[in-house]
């Protein structure tokens, strides 16, 4: 099979069918131990087949999701909650970034009043600096202020 998900799905359907057969056998148990053993062995075989598909899928399921579902939660609701939580966190970080940008502008403005030459040199370096050499620009500005 070229699609590992299809093979896993079929193995899961077979395992679920074996569970259904086992439930029916137990529900109508009449003392026939061989039939019960056959059903149990069939289920074990199907679960082994299901486990053989595990490595081909390589899907990581968060433990938090498994706990949520075990407690009776809906996986779709869990996904929605995670996205809402991520959105709130994103908005919080965005607010912090905007606050720091505002602070930087205010700091540059006040530094320009107190140290006009150094601020002008810093702004010139910052405009010409690429992200790769921002560290060098900061070192240059620090070296200029210590002399």
- Give the Cβ contact number of residue 11 at 10 Å: 19
Segments forming the whole domain that contains residue 7: 1-59
pLDDT, one tens digit per residue, over 45-102 is 999 888 888 777 777 888 999 999 999 999 999 999 999 999 999 999 999 999 999 9
Is 67 among the domain residues? no
Is 138 among the domain residues? no
Is 75 among the domain residues? no
Is 3 among the domain residues? yes
Residue 146 confidence (pLDDT) above 60: no
Is 7 among the domain residues? yes
- Looking at residue 123, its pLDDT comes to 87
Convert 13-82 into a string of H (helix), E (strand) and C (coil): HHHHHHHHHHHHHHHCCCCCHHHHHHHHHHHHHHHHHHHHCHHHHCCCCCHHHHHHHHCCCCHHHHHHHH
- Looking at residue 71, its pLDDT comes to 94
- Looking at residue 131, its pLDDT comes to 61
Rounded CA separation 35/13 (Å): 21
| pLDDT tier at 147, thresholds 50, 70, 90 | very low
pLDDT, one tens digit per residue, over 1-48 is 467 788 888 888 999 999 999 999 888 888 888 888 999 999 999 998
CA dihedral 125, 126, 131, 133 (to 10 degrees): 20
Is 85 among the domain residues? no
Is 113 among the domain residues? no
pLDDT, one tens digit per residue, over 97-131 is 999 999 999 999 999 999 999 999 888 888 886 66
Q: Is the pLDDT higher at 59 or at 137? A: 59
Q: Which of 43, 59, 48 lies closest to 4, judged by CA? A: 59
Is 4 among the domain residues? yes
CA dihedral 40, 4, 62, 44 (to 10 degrees): 10
How many domains, in total, are found in the chain? 1
């Amino acid at each position: 099979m070229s699609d590992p998900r299809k093979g896993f799905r079929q193995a899961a359907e077979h395992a679920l069918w074996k569970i259904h057969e086992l439930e029916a056998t137990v529900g109508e148990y009449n003392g026939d131990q061989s039939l019960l053993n056959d059903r149990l062995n069939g289920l074990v075989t199907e679960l082994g087949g299901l486990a053989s598909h595990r490595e081909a899928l390589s899907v990581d399921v968060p433990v938090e999701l498994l706990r949520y579902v075990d407690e009776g939660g809906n996986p779709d609701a869990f996904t929605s909650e995670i996205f809402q939580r991520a959105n709130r966190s994103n908005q919080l970080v965005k607010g912090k970034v905007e606050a720091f940008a505002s602070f930087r502008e205010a700091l540059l403005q006040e530094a320009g009043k107190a140290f006009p030459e150094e601020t002008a040199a810093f702004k010139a370096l910052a405009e010409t600096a690429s992200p790769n050499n921002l560290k060098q620009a900061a070192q240059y500005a620090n070296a200029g202020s210590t002399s």
